[in-house]
Amino acid sequence: MHPYSRSEIPHHESEAKAPETGVDSRDTPLAQLLHLLQGAHEPVLADVGITRFAPARLDALHGSASREAEACLDRAQLMIRLMEGALEGEHPPEPTLLLGVAQQVGRTLADHRRWRDLADNAAYYRDHPGVKARISAQL
């Protein structure tokens, strides 16, 4: 596993980035927050801001992000099961409610992927100190 580059992320046809932050307004709040916390304007590699962390901190970040990724997946699966149960009933919910639940499932799955990517990148930098040092030196 390696840190993903922005080119590996599906691109939106029209990127809506705030000029002062470089944050895509279509990213989930989690992705925007992680981008801002790392202080990167246009990252080439994902999560380059964590390269300054010590191995123990990267290990803790990996564990926490992995647990949160799993929690997001559990939440998405729960919402889908609830939606299925509601649709099987005599009085199915309004289409607008179903649309809202479906959109929330999509956001939750996007957060799951972002937490998983953060966990993978933390583990990669922890396990590859030479790469981490080279990237960190360029920041």
- What are the pLDDT digits (tens) for 52-93? 999 999 999 999 999 999 999 999 999 999 999 999 999 989
Domain ranges of the chain: 6-138
Q: Output the pTM of the full model.
A: 0.77
Residue 114: both structure tokens together:
């972002």
Q: How far apart are CA 117 and CA 98, in angstroms?
A: 29
What are the E-state strand segments in the chain?
A: none
Q: Which of the pair, 79 or 20, is modelled with greater confidence?
A: 79
Residue 88, exposed/middle/buried by CB under 10 A (0-12, 13-18, 19+)? exposed
Residue 45: both structure tokens together:
């590699």
Instruction: Give pLDDT, residue 22.
Output: 56
